[in-house]
Amino acid sequence: MTWTRAEFLAAVAGSGVLSPEYADDVLVRLAHHSTAIEGNTLTLADTVTLLVDQRVPVAGTPVRDLYEVANHYEAFARVLRAVAQDEPLTTALILHLHATLMDHLAHDRGQYKTSTNIVTGASWQPTAPARVPDLMRQWADQTEWQTANLDNEALLEAVASAHIAFERIHPFSDGNGRTGRAIIAYQTIRRFGFPAIVQVTRRPAYITMLDAQDAPGLSRLLAVSLADEAARRTQA
């Protein structure tokens, strides 16, 4: 069941990772940009109306669009809990993040894909379903080591490379992009204290970087996001 705002605020307070004001700010922007990259029709103002004012922003908004955004209550709370408890990046955490993001949206939420999927417009093919469990265990082990042990530019390049690898595995039938960007939020809050958020305005460059496996380019994009976020956190 999709969380309420009250449940989200209680989780924020319980984690103690971010101030309530800044957590609200991050929630709205993460939910908006990550879903808009996938084609969600809600604007940033609509997202504020839904998540902060708890009102449906526009009559006739597709229910799917509402759930895609509202599911970030629980998903972002799960990220903050993992950071607060110094929880390592594991396949269990990844599956849980997917389950929260795909609540009411996918029958197989929190489960790896069982049939072949494609990425429209991509020059590559996602990993075959039978190989996903083993590859995801390897991916999680390597990414956890990098997240815990690397610093500064090396860390950001590792985050970028891991994100590209995750999207190429494409472990789920749907929701891969949103889950991958939630993992980036977890990694960057854990190490920097604030998230790197890929903005929808950068979507063309971001998609090109994923397709070309341009980890240095994506690393620079994440670095710019973190610099903006550092300033924003002090103002929240």
pLDDT digits (tens, 9 = 90+) for 143-191: 999 999 999 999 999 999 999 999 999 999 999 999 999 999 999 999 9
Render 54-84 in DSSP notation, one character per residue: -S-SSTT--HHHHHHHHTHHHHHHHHHHHHH
Q: What percentage of the chain has pLDDT greater than the value 90?
A: 92
Domain 5-112+124-234 CATH assignment equals 3.90.1150.10:
no
Sign of CA dihedral 75, 76, 77, 80: positive
Full-model pTM: 0.97
24 is in an annotated binding site: no
174 is in an annotated binding site: yes
Q: Quick one: which of 76, 34, 28, 21 has its CA closest to 54?
A: 28
Please give the Cα distance from 162 to 139 (Å, whole number): 8
Please give the Cα distance from 131 to 119 (Å, whole number): 17
177 is in an annotated binding site: yes
Residue 116 structure tokens:
């072949």
Active site residue 170: yes
Which pLDDT value is given to residue 1?
Answer: 55
Q: Which residue has the higher pLDDT, 68 or 231?
A: 68
